[in-house]
Amino acid sequence: MHIPDGFIDGPTSLAAGVVAVGGVAVALRKAADDDLESRAAMTGLVAAFVFAVQMLNFPVAGGTSGHLMGGLFAAVLVGPWLGSLAITVVLVVQCLLFADGGISALGLNIVNMAFVPTFVAYGIFLLARKAAPATRVGLLSATAAAALASVVLAALAFVAEFALGGTTTVSLSTLSAAMIGVHVLIGIGEAVITTLTVGAVLATRPDLVYGAGQLELNEIPVLT
Amino acid sequence: MNARRSGKPPTTHGGPAEPKARTRRHTAGFLAAGLVVALVLAFGVSRFASSEPDGLSKVAADHGLDAREQPHALDDPTLRGTAPRSSTTTASQQGSPGTLGVIVTFCCTAVAVWLAAKARDKARRPEPAATPR
């Protein structure tokens, strides 16, 4: 999902860069309300884990692979503000140290992979969490649905950016169908990986799952 | 044992600080275990990852979105082998840079959040009252 240089024109990339810088500033200010000292290492771990799992491309249909995007995963574990910062650091490290994702497209990639999943898809998670039973299964079901949605939404964000500043001429309906088709499949993988990992943390340290919030999760064991 | 299910209060073996210290130790252990898992995934498991193009790359190739793709400014031969998912990277080349990436990402994120906490504390600290002469 990392956009390389040259796919999207300069003005659109620049605008996305401005949005990314502004978004990071807002996230830093909003995150200041959290208990930052105790969450610093956990946020680092979430970022490191997402970096590692993004290396594990899994095959999907038709000679295509996918990998965890991790935004929703990060938001469920450390909250949307710190989660967006964690994924932003992952993308910056991948871009500047590993030549993964274009430098001019860094803002686009931050918007698509850090902000859309942690803000928009996390909103879907909150709605689904309210609708689902206040149990571990309910929480994980909401996580799975939002994780799947996060990948499709990021794909749609790319289509919107391409509509604004694509450097080649491609029918938007064709592009939308192709992007949604393949990213629904990748989203299923995202949902499986996210749900299994959040479930594992929930089973061992439910107090470290930000997305569990104030719900009476009566099935969650308590560490004693 | 699930304390909430059993209805028993958590057992403590010391003063009031004991449960807090124990939780801190558990958290440190959890973080260390998580970091080890991330390193194992990056170093060991990543070499079994699919080398097929990812979703965007495949759509771009199929529909010609990549006609004006430009090479990455930092993608020189010495760095190319360190790209986590580069098509030119062999499995054995991928592990060590991935391990480095995990460590760099962990440190950068944790330090950034810690610095944000310090900046917040500094901003919230009240100005010292002027001493009367």
pLDDT tens per residue across span B35-44: 999 999 999 8
pLDDT, mean of residues B81-90: 47
Q: What is the pLDDT of residues B94-131, one digit of tens each?
A: 667 889 999 999 999 999 998 888 888 888 777 666 66
Across the interface, whether the CB atoms of A224 and B3 are under 8 A apart is answered yes
Judge whether B55 lies within some domain.
Answer: no
Distance, C-alpha A200 to centroid of its chain: 19
pLDDT value of position A127: 96
Confidence class for position B77, pLDDT limits 50, 70, 90:
low
Q: Is a pLDDT exceeding 60 seen at residue B93?
A: no
Across the interface, whether the CB atoms of B116 and A28 are under 8 A apart is answered yes
Judge whether B102 lies within some domain.
Answer: yes
Judge whether B67 lies within some domain.
Answer: no
Instruction: Write the secondary structure of chain B as one string of H (helix), E (strand) and C (coil).
Output: CCHHHHCCCCCCCCCCHHHHHHHHHHHHHHHHHHHHHHHHHHHCHHHHCCCCCEHHHHHHHHHCHHHHCCCCCCCCHHHHCCCCCCCCCCHHHHHHHHHHHHHHHHHHHHHHHHHHHHHHHHHHCCCCCCCCC
Longest dimension (CA), chain B: 79
| Domain interval for residue B96 | 35-45+90-125
Q: How far B42 CA lies from chain A's nearest CA (Å)?
A: 5
pLDDT value of position B1: 37
Residues of B with CB below 8 A from A155's CB?
Answer: 55-56
Nearest to B105 among A4, A48, A102 (CB): A48
Judge whether B40 lies within some domain.
Answer: yes
Domains contained in chain B, number: 1
Residue A8 backbone phi and psi in degrees, to 5: -120, 145
Q: What is the pLDDT of residues B28-72, one digit of tens each?
A: 999 999 999 999 999 989 888 998 999 999 999 999 888 788 888
**Could you tell me the domains of chain A?**
10-212 (1.10.1760.20)
pLDDT value of position B3: 39
B22 touches chain A (CB under 8 A): no
Across the interface, whether the CB atoms of B113 and A90 are under 8 A apart is answered no
Residues of B with CB below 8 A from A148's CB?
Answer: none
Nearest to B34 among A3, A45, A100 (CB): A45
Residues of A with CB below 8 A from B97's CB?
Answer: 98
pLDDT value of position B39: 95
Judge whether B133 lies within some domain.
Answer: no
B78 touches chain A (CB under 8 A): no
CA-based nearest residue in chain B for residue A65: B54
Judge whether B65 lies within some domain.
Answer: no
Q: How far A126 CA lies from chain B's nearest CA (Å)?
A: 24
Complex ipTM over 0.85: yes
User: What is the value of pTM for the model shown?
Assistant: 0.87
pLDDT value of position A74: 97
Q: Which pLDDT tens digits describe chain A residue by residue (224 residues)?
A: 899 999 999 999 999 999 999 999 999 988 887 778 788 999 999 999 999 999 999 999 888 999 999 999 999 999 999 999 999 999 999 999 888 899 999 999 999 999 999 999 999 999 999 999 989 999 999 999 999 999 999 999 999 999 999 999 999 999 999 999 999 999 999 999 999 999 999 999 998 999 988 565 555 544 43
pLDDT value of position B13: 42
Judge whether B132 lies within some domain.
Answer: no
